């Protein structure tokens, strides 16, 4: 049997069992969607990544410095990011890189979740968001570019509840709002003269998006998605539970090649558990 591939590149991405003690999970759906404020004095720590045993800090720093040198005088506006997104979609369809699942039964739900999350942003960008279901039952993945969020049917099957979708989609929004996509596109723009035509640029972009950002950016996007999920009134423990499930899958199969620059799932679960306990005073199971 062909193993299911797991990524969370531009994305995050999950399934789960338990719920935690708060409003928003399916057991207390009567309170789901009740908007909340973030705890005052909330902090975002990246210390937990240092214990991950994956010592690529040196590489990440070198990468950061090189990127700054190469892209220091290049800007990519929100509008330009959206145009990259449009082109990425058109070129991917032309090359049959993916197939959009038109009229998927989850589309309305996904559109609703996206809208609820987007309205919770602080200092929102001008990026307009749209979510697409990709007809792909083997790759558990979600990724994003220029406000377009792509989620595979395999990912939809993997998620166990709506709360997880909130966190996943929120994570993708985070990659846009936190400038991760912008930085990627600055690199693409800097390298475009070497890449030649758009077709090659699209291949390069896809490789970046479907791989992942560095660990810190992934966790930053997790935190961002978690904040939006909380403010929209849904269960923030769901994403921790998702990563627990992924950690189990990793033990069974060799996922490491897919997760090389991702925080491994157990690390991510641990980081989010610490974060939730400290800031939200919740015990996620
Ligand atoms: Zn991501």
Does residue 94 form part of some domain?
Answer: yes
pLDDT at 158: 85
- pLDDT of residue 150 exceeding 50: yes
| Mean pLDDT computed over 137-158 | 92
Cα of 91 to ligand 1 centre, how many Å? 22
Percent of the chain with pLDDT over 70: 69
Task: Calculate mean pLDDT across residues 151-170.
Answer: 92
pLDDT at position 246 is 75
Dist. CA 210 → ligand 1 center (Å): 9
* Number of Cβ atoms within 10 Å of the Cβ of 90: 12
Centre of ligand 1 from the C-alpha of residue 30, in Å: 30
pLDDT tops 90 at residue 173: yes
Q: What is the pLDDT of residue 216?
A: 84
**How many angstroms is it from 99 CA to the middle of ligand 1?**
21
Give the per-residue pLDDT at 261.
42
Q: Report pLDDT for 60.
A: 64
212 falls within a domain: yes
Q: How far apart are CA 35 and CA 116, in angstroms?
A: 10
178-225 pLDDT, tens digit each: 999 998 888 777 776 555 566 566 666 666 666 566 778 889 999 999
Q: Please spell the DSSP secondary structure of 143-173, one letter per residue.
A: EEETTEEEEEHHHHHH--SHHHHHHHHHHHH
The answer to whether position 80 is within a domain reads: yes
- The pLDDT score that the predictor gives to residue 15 is 30
At 209 the pLDDT is 65
What is the structure's pLDDT at 267? 84
Contacts of residue 236, Cβ cutoff 8 Å, sequence gap at least 6: 22, 24, 163, 167, 226, 229, 230, 276, 280, 282, 284
Residue 284 Cα to ligand 1 midpoint, Å, equals 22
Q: Is residue 43 part of a domain?
A: no
Enclosing domain of residue 159: 5-32+57-66+76-280
pLDDT at site 265: 79
Task: Decide if pLDDT at 165 tops 80.
Answer: yes
In angstroms, the CA 25 to CA 36 distance is 14
* The model's pTM: 0.81
The number of distinct structural domains making up the chain is 1
Q: 144 alpha carbon to ligand 1 midpoint, in Å?
A: 9
Structure tokens at 36: 């909340």
Give the per-residue pLDDT at 50.
77
Q: Rounded to the nearest whole angstrom, what is the distance from the C-alpha of residue 165 to the centroid of ligand 1? A: 14
Q: Which two tokens stand for residue 54?
A: 């994956």
Nearest in space to 89 (alpha carbons), one of 76, 78, 99, 103: 99
- 196 CA from centroid of ligand 1 (Å): 27
Instruction: Please check whether residue 44 lies inside any domain of the structure.
Output: no
Asked, for residue 52, whether it belongs to a domain, the answer is no
222 alpha carbon – ligand 1 mean position (Å): 7
Going from the Cα of 139 to the center of ligand 1, the distance in angstroms, rounded, reads: 15
SS3 labels along 216-257: HHHHHHHHHHHHHHHHHCCCCHHHHHHHHHHHHHHHHCCCCC
* Average pLDDT over every residue of 234-246: 87
For residue 143, pLDDT over 80 is answered with yes
Instruction: Indicate the pairing of strand 130-134 with strand 142-145.
Output: unpaired
> What is the predicted pLDDT for the residue at 123?
96
Q: How far is the CA of 7 from the centre of ligand 1 (A)?
A: 9
Domain for residue 91, yes or no? yes
Quote the ligand 1 centre to 178 CA distance (angstroms).
Answer: 11
Note the pLDDT tens digit of each residue in 62-96: 666 766 776 777 889 999 999 999 999 998 999 89
Give residue-wise pLDDT tens across range 2-57.
444 444 444 433 332 233 333 333 344 446 788 899 999 999 999 988 765 555 56
Q: How far is CA 112 from the centre of its chain?
A: 18
- What is the pLDDT, as a whole number, of residue 63? 66
How many angstroms is it from 221 CA to the middle of ligand 1? 6
Task: Tell whether 42 is covered by a domain.
Answer: no
């Amino acid at each position: 049997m062909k193993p299911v591939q797991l990524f969370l590149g531009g994305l995050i991405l999950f399934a789960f069992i338990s719920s935690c003690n708060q409003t928003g999970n399916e057991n207390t759906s009567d309170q789901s969607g009740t908007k909340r404020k973030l705890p005052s004095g909330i902090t975002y720590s990246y210390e937990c990544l240092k214990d991950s045993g994956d010592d690529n800090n040196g590489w990440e720093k070198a990468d950061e410095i090189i990127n700054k040198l190469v892209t220091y005088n290049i800007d990519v506006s929100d509008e330009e990011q959206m145009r990259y997104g449009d082109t990425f979609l058109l070129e991917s369809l032309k090359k049959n890189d993916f197939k959009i699942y038109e009229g998927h039964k989850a589309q309305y739900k996904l559109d609703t979740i996206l809208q609820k999350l987007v309205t919770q942003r602080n200092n929102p960008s001008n990026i307009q968001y749209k979510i697409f279901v990709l007809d792909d039952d083997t790759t558990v993945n979600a990724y994003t570019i220029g406000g377009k969020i792509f989620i595979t049917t395999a990912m939809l099957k993997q998620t166990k509840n709506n709360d997880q979708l909130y966190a996943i989609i929120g994570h993708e929004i985070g990659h846009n709002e936190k400038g991760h996509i912008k930085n990627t596109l600055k690199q693409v723009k800097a390298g475009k003269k070497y890449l030649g035509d758009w077709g090659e640029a699209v291949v390069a972009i896809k490789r970046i998006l479907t791989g992942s950002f560095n660990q810190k950016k992934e966790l930053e996007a997790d935190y961002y998605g978690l904040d939006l999920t909380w403010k929209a009134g849904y269960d923030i423990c769901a994403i921790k539970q998702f990563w627990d499930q992924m950690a189990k899958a990793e033990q069974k199969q060799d996922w490491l090649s897919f997760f090389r620059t991702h925080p491994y799932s157990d690390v991510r679960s641990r980081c989010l558990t610490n974060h939730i306990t400290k800031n939200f005073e919740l015990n996620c199971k």
